[in-house]
Amino acid sequence: MFKFFKDKIKQAIANVTKKVEKEAVEETEEKKEELREEEIKEEIKEKEKPKKEKKKLVKKVEKEAVAEIEETKEEFKEEPKEEEKKSLFKRLTEKITLTKISGEKFNEIFHDMEIALLENNVAEEVVERIKSGLEKDIINNPIKRNKVSDTIIASFRNTLEAILSIEKINVEDLVKNKKDKPFVFLFLGYNGVGKSLTIGKVARFLKDKNFKVILAAGDTFRAAGSSQLVEYANKVNVPVIKGKTGSDSCSIIFDTITSAKAKNYDVVLADTAGRIHNNPDLINELKKIVRVNKPDYNILVIDAMTGSDVVQQAEEFNKHVNIDALIITKIDTYEKAGTLLSAAYLLKKPILFLGVGQESGDLKEYDKDEIIKSFGL
């Protein structure tokens, strides 16, 4: 899962780390000069001090040095107060082991990361969000020199975690908590995104949780539309109601809900024909399906290959019917993470599942921690 993303990002982090470290080396050379001058001044001062005081100072510096070693990175990040009398040890660590990156340098340094994200079809807005996260953690913030890579990885992971922290829906609870059965899920999306196969997978998922599930073969537009759903229904052993090609999709779904009520089914999963924005008949039909059947959840199914077009695609549907949640399919065949990141950040809808293969069990519940792990972070 997301191997392409993982590899590209790993390389980009390595490049960014190298650039930050190079900056650090250059800075260090300058700082060393400064420090040498200061040390000479310090020595002169020391010589002028009475012996007793000198001894006391040495002890004090030693004690402080031990304490400094214990200090956490956060403490290093704190701007030292001007008036604070700093120990030689602290001055040494600040000047040689810590580095800061300026705003101008950051853009140049971030370039590799930007390219890696764009190669993954991550939308511009998301790239900007990741960039500002890294900027906050890196610019003008001293980083211990041996912690550059860790700091970049931690910052990147935190930003992705924030992006992926969308509302989490527990599908099992959702169905369980509805008072009057059945819970009706309506599946929408372009042709070929994986609506019908996903319905088969969700049917199996819910059946495994002991729910009684029935399918509505609402794709009456194409001849293969309903026969395909019947095939998936048979595979996972759930009933399906279908009509003839060209028959009224709205009434097939209505009949399925009526039958579900009569037979005490828990869930109806309703398929629809793939919609395209330039076909007003199909859009009107979809509006009618929603108006008449009042589904509990309208799920937009999105192909992982969609990339940053995900926003435009969701808007086309959302204009006509309210979208409650998303499912992203074909994660197994398309290893770029752009669609998922762009959808999570820009659509602000819960993602219920990820489709990860052609079998009925190839469905994963949305789990941000698992996704972040698969990113290698």
Q: Is 218 in the site for ligand GDP (CB under 6 A)?
A: no
Residue from 93, 159, 196, 226 in contact with Mg ion (CB under 5 A): 196
In this structure, what token pair is assigned to residue 105? Answer: 């340098």
In this structure, what token pair is assigned to residue 233? Answer: 């229904």
Burial of 104 (0-12, 13-18, 19+ CB in 10 A): exposed
**Rounded to an integer, what distance in angstroms lies between the CA atom of residue 176 and that of residue 247?**
32
151 vs 272, beta carbon nearer ligand GDP: 272
Mark the segment that binds ligand GDP (CB under 6 A) among 163-171, 193-201, 207-215, 255-263: 193-201
Helix (H, G, I), strand (E, B) or coil at 215: strand
Burial of 100 (0-12, 13-18, 19+ CB in 10 A): middle
**Rounded to an integer, what distance in angstroms lies between the CA atom of residue 213 and that of residue 206?**
7
Could you report how far apart the first and last alpha carbons of the chain are, in Å? 13
Binding mask 325-354 for ligand GDP (x = CB under 6 A): ----xx-xx---------------------
In 3D space, the residue among 95, 86, 121, 90 whose CA is nearest the CA of residue 4 turns out to be: 121
Q: How far is CA 131 from CA 108, 127, 141, 314, 377, in A?
A: 12, 6, 15, 25, 17
Picked from ligand GDP, Mg ion, none, the partner binding residue 356 (CB below 5 to 8 A depending on kind) is ligand GDP
Picked from Mg ion, ligand GDP, none, the partner binding residue 200 (CB below 5 to 8 A depending on kind) is none
The residue type found at 177 is N
90 vs 330, beta carbon nearer ligand GDP: 330
Picked from ligand GDP, Mg ion, none, the partner binding residue 344 (CB below 5 to 8 A depending on kind) is none
80 vs 192, beta carbon nearer Mg ion: 192
129 vs 336, beta carbon nearer ligand GDP: 336
235 vs 287, beta carbon nearer ligand GDP: 235
Residue from 36, 168, 192, 361 in contact with ligand GDP (CB under 6 A): 192
Q: Is 196 in the site for ligand GDP (CB under 6 A)?
A: yes
| Site for ligand GDP, rule CB under 6 A | 189, 191-197, 228, 274, 329-330, 332-333, 355-358, 362
